[in-house]
């Protein structure tokens, strides 16, 4: 803590917790309030960069709708209660359901704050010991399970997640990612726009594969508008071309590749010529991209939410990884690399390396992964009566009514539960259903370590974040709530759970025993004490090659042809190549720099300006339906319909429409006053919890068949 000229104002350094870029911030605080937020010039990764959302941390902290005390739902409405009462009440409700219906009758879900609140990651397992339910899920299964599963099957651990070495590459293919809006995902690269521009400035290529000409596509050297959901066919054609034209050269990886011959054999039928018709990209362009990519000195093929949250997410991510492997770009500077995190999650024996299909869900038989079930199973598991039905729910830092597919059905399912607990600082579309809400103290009042995002950073960096504002005496942080709840549940069930230590103590242990710790004989000798003395963080250098030593497979080889993924090519063949596309339009998502999931819509400064929640549609598609820019239109899918304003744009491929997610907080009972003044719709009232990648259960948020027409039918108008 440094003292500034005004004696009352203190300066603090921390990271922005809104997105994965985790930009370093300089925060000035006076009388417990944030008075200014700036980028921290001395942060080794972000070097002063922040986006408009960073400054909004001030408003989000001071949001008058933020709960500071636990709330209990009563006949007469919400009632503020003490922490002790709230925790007892929550534990009683959970245990009562478990005693009556078995442990699996309680489900839990951990949402987006999994990564941003480190105490949730460190102590969630503690609560799960006490809950002992198979119906546990996390944002992995609505966000990045395809990446986790691919890593688990190929490299032996779900957290061996390679990332693009952006600062040294000469050729990037970005499929289904729009980092100019999202600021990067599974790729912590603050100021990503400048990093991408630097690639083209040094003569490199940035190729964007996206059904929409996105902000990122606009600064790219090439953009290919792909048909939504067809990336697997595209990637298979790239690989098949590489094998056919003798472009395969795994370089240093060769000695520890297993199964590459099988890959060659199974991909042979997927030629560029066959793929072209299916994906909407010329065969000559596919072949040329294969040649250019293979010929580049340092190249990386990267896919994110658009290629993951779709019907073929897992097989696509596997094929993308193979493209990096067969060109020798995995684990190579300027390619697709693992960083060397100061706290390495793959060294934690308590973390599941990514076991697949240990059990399956009751109704649809969706596979477990890493000890969790897919969140897309929850609505039906809550609704379908019978032994094993979910009757209570612990919802942690998530707003599934707006974030899960088929939010309308989930909304009803939550209403029908016997008991629900929310760990959330707001009364949201989801937490309004809870019997008790447990609001943790805000992020800026907590300590923090980037367990997740420093594992995906494009440089090796480390920083320990201390509270920027002193919290009131009766506040609890998320990890303290998890522990208190776990202990109460365990006591009521008569089971014992091990004592635990704080997240900071866990981080200290991991630092000291990690790659840069004393135990490893590293000169940095990292420890918590050392990091506390370096508030801007410490740069630990560029990424370095780590294979094969880091592999967790039994034979320390990369498994190029895992059965679970190879076998899914049958579905790619059947559904993409042979089924005729009988849809009217397909719906995809999008993100905008002024909004983050469901979290930022109550912030006035970010809601200023044009409405972000509109339907994007190509002018030809509007003309076909006699619709006009700005009309209110009705979008209908298999599971629901919404009415919203349409924006005409040539940036979106004909046949494709787009709606962002995270909006619609104006529902009854939601206590978010600013949001309520900006009525919007939830795209997840259109997405379908049964439209998933069956390999993982990941919802296909992208590629949803829909039709679009006037909000009020024209014939109806005519008869009036």
Is 142 among the residues that bind ligand MGD (CB under 6 A)?
yes
- The helix/strand/coil state of 436 is strand
How near is the Cβ of 66 to ligand MGD at its closest, in Å?
Answer: 9
CA-to-CA distance for 504 and 507, rounded, in angstroms?
5
Distance CA 197, CA 213 (A): 17
Using CB under 6 A, which of 10, 12, 23, 424 touches ligand SF4? Answer: 23
DSSP H helices in 64-218:
83-101, 113-116, 118-131, 140-143, 145-155, 179-182, 192-201, 215-218
CB atoms within 10 A of CB 59: 17
With CB under 6 A as the contact rule, the residue among 13, 14, 21, 195 that binds ligand SF4 is 21
Among 135, 178, 321, 653, binds ligand MGD (CB under 6 A): 178
Quick check: 684 binds ligand MGD (CB under 6 A)? yes
Q: Which of residues 143, 215, 231, 621 is near Mo ion by CB under 5 A?
A: 143
Select from 10, 12, 13, 18 the one that contacts ligand SF4 (CB under 6 A): 18
For residue 588, the partner it binds in ligand MGD, ligand SF4, Mo ion, none, with Cβ less than 5 to 8 A by kind, is ligand MGD
**Pick from Mo ion, ligand MGD, ligand SF4, none: which does 149 bind, CB < 5 to 8 A by kind?**
none
54 interacts with, out of Mo ion, ligand SF4, ligand MGD, none, CB within 5 to 8 A per kind: ligand SF4
Question: From ligand MGD, ligand SF4, Mo ion, none, which one binds at residue 23 (CB under 5 to 8 Å depending on kind)?
Answer: ligand SF4
Distance CA 345, CA 680 (A): 39
Minimum Å distance from CB 614 to ligand MGD?
15
Distance CA(715)–CA(692), nearest Å, equals 36
Helices (H), 186-312: 192-201, 215-218, 231-244, 260-267, 272-279, 283-295, 305-308
Interface of this chain with ligand SF4, residues 49 to 68, rule: CB under 6 A: 50-51, 53-54
Query: Which residues, 6 or more positions from 522, have their beta carbon under 8 angstroms from its beta carbon?
Result: 515, 516
* Among the listed residues 138, 146, 183, 399, the single contact to ligand SF4 using CB under 6 A: 183
Return the number of the residue (183 or 339) whose C-beta is nearest ligand SF4: 183
Phi-psi region of 400 (alpha: psi -120 to 50; beta: other; left: phi over 0): alpha
CB of 289 to ligand SF4, least distance (A): 30
Closest to ligand MGD by CB, 185 vs 327, is 185
Task: Decide whether 463 or 557 has the Cβ nearer to ligand SF4.
Answer: 463
241 closest CA partner among 210, 274, 209 = 274
Asked if 702 interacts with ligand MGD (CB under 6 A), we say yes
Number of chain positions touching ligand MGD (CB under 6 A): 66
Q: Does 22 bind ligand SF4 (CB under 6 A)?
A: yes
Q: Which of 40, 104, 210, 664 binds ligand MGD (CB under 6 A)?
A: 210
Q: Verify binding: residue 305, ligand MGD, rule CB under 6 A.
A: yes
Of the pair 27, 585, the CB lying nearest ligand SF4 is at 27
CB 11 within 8 A of CB 26: yes
> In this structure, are residues 139 and 404 in contact, taking their beta carbons and an 8 Å threshold?
no
Q: How far is CA 175 from CA 215, 216, 254, in A?
A: 13, 11, 26
CA–CA dist 276, 577 (Å, integer)? 10
Q: Residue 595 interacts with ligand MGD (CB under 6 A)?
A: yes
Q: How far apart are CA 335 and CA 168, in angstroms?
A: 8
Residue 126: exposed, middle, or buried by beta-carbon count in 10 A (0-12, 13-18, 19+)? buried
190 binds ligand SF4 (CB under 6 A): yes
Using CB under 6 A as the binding rule, whether residue 181 contacts ligand MGD is answered as yes
Nearest-approach distance from CB 126 to ligand MGD, in angstroms: 15
Strands in 574-664 per DSSP E: 585-588, 615-617, 632-637, 641-648, 656-658
Selection from ligand MGD, Mo ion, ligand SF4, none that 9 binds (CB < 5 to 8 A by kind) is none
For residues 34 and 58, the answer to whether their CB atoms sit within 8 Å is yes
Residue by residue, DSSP assigns 652-719 as BPTTEEE--SS----STT---HHHHTS----GGGTS-TT-EETTTTEE--SSEEEEEEESS-HHHHHH
Per DSSP, the three-state class of 343 is: coil
DSSP 312: T
| Residue in the shown chain whose Cβ atom is closest to ligand SF4 | 54
Binding site partner of 22, from ligand SF4, ligand MGD, Mo ion, none, Cβ cut-off 5-8 A by kind: ligand SF4
Interface segment toward ligand SF4; rule CB under 6 A; list 15-23, 76-84, 94-102, 196-204: 15-23
Residues that bind Mo ion in the complex, under the rule CB under 5 A: 143
Residues that bind ligand SF4 in the complex, under the rule CB under 6 A: 16, 18-19, 21-23, 50-51, 53-54, 183, 190
Residues that bind ligand MGD in the complex, under the rule CB under 6 A: 19-20, 111-113, 117, 139, 142-143, 175-179, 181-183, 185, 209-212, 214, 226, 228-229, 231, 304-307, 309-310, 396-400, 403, 423-426, 428, 440, 443, 478, 588-593, 595-599, 661-662, 683-684, 687, 701-703
């Amino acid at each position: 803590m440094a003292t500034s000229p005004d004696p009352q104002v203190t300066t603090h350094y921390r990271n922005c917790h809104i997105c994965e870029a985790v930009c370093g911030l300089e925060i000035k605080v006076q009388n417990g309030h944030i008075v200014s937020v700036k980028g921290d010039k001395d942060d080794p990764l972000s070097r002063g960069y922040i986006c408009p959302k960073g400054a909004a941390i001030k408003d989000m902290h001071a949001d008058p709708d933020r709960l500071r005390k636990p709330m209990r739902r009563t006949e007469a409405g919400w009632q503020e209660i003490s922490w002790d009462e709230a925790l007892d009440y929550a534990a009683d409700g959970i245990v009562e359901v478990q005693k009556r219906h078995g442990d699996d009758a309680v489900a839990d879900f951990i949402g987006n704050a999994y990564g941003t609140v480190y105490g949730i990651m460190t102590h969630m397992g503690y609560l799960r010991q006490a809950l002992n339910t198979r119906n546990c899920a996390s944002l992995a299964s609505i966000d990045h399970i395809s990446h986790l599963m691919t890593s688990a099957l190929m490299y032996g651990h779900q957290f061996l997640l390679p990332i693009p070495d952006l600062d040294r590459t000469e050729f990037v293919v970005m499929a289904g990612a729009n980092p100019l809006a999202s600021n990067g995902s599974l790729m912590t690269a603050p100021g990503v726009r400048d990093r991408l521009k630097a690639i083209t400035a040094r003569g490199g290529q940035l190729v964007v594969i996206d059904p929409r000409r996105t902000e990122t596509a606009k600064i790219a050297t090439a953009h290919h508008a792909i048909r939504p959901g067809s990336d697997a066919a595209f990637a298979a054609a790239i690989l098949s071309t590489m094998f056919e034209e003798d472009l395969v050269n795994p370089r240093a990886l060769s000695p520890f590749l297993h199964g590459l011959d099988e890959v060659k054999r199974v991909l042979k039928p997927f030629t560029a010529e066959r793929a072209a018709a299916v994906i909407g990209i010329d065969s000559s362009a596919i072949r040329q991209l294969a040649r250019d990519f293979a010929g580049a000195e340092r190249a990386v093929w990267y896919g994110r939410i658009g290629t993951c949250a779709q019907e073929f997410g897992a097989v696509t991510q596997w094929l993308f990884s193979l493209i990096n492997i067969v060109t020798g770009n995995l684990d190579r500077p300027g390619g697709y690399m693992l960083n060397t995190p100061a706290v390495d999650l793959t060294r934690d024996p308590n973390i599941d390396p990514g076991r697949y299909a240990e059990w399956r869900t009751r109704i649809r038989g969706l596979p477990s992964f890493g000890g969790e079930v897919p969140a897309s199973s929850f609505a039906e598991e809550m609704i379908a009566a019978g032994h094993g039905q979910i009757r209570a729910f612990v919802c942690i830092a998530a707003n599934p009514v707006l974030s899960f597919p088929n939010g309308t059905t989930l909304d009803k399912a939550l209403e029908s539960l016997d008991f629900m607990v929310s760990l959330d600082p707001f009364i949201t579309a989801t937490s309004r259903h809870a019997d008790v809400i447990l609001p943790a103290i805000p992020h800026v009042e907590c300590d923090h370590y980037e367990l997740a995002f420093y594992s995906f950073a494009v440089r090796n960096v480390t920083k320990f974040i201390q509270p920027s504002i002193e919290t009131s005496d009766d506040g609890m942080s998320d990890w303290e709530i998890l522990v208190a709840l776990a202990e109460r549940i365990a006591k009521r069930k008569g089971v014992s759970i091990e004592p635990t230590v704080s997240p900071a103590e866990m981080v200290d242990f991991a630092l000291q025993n990690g790659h840069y710790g004393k135990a490893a004989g590293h000169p940095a000798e990292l420890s918590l004490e050392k990091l506390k003395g370096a508030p801007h963080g410490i740069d630990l250098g560029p990424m370095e090659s780590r294979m094969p030593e880091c592999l967790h497979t039994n034979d320390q080889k990369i498994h190029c042809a895992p059965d679970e993924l190879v076998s899914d090519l049958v579905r790619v063949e059947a559904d993409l190549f042979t089924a005729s596309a009988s849809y009217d339009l397909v719906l995809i998502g999008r993100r905008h720099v002024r909004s983050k999931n469901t979290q930022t819509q109550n912030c006035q400064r970010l809601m200023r300006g044009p409405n972000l929640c509109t339907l994007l549609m190509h002018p030809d598609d509007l003309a076909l339906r006699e619709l006009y820019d700005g009309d209110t239109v009705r979008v209908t899918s298999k599971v629901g319909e919404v009415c919203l304003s349409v924006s005409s744009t040539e940036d979106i491929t004909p046949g494709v429409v787009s709606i962002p997610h995270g909006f619609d907080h104006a529902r009854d009972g939601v206590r978010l006053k600013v949001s309520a003044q900006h009525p919007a719709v939830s795209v997840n009232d259109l997405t379908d919890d049964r439209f998933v990648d069956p390999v993982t259960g990941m919802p296909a948020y992208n590629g949803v068949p829909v039709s679009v027409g006037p909000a009020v039918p024209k014939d109806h108008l005519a008869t009036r």
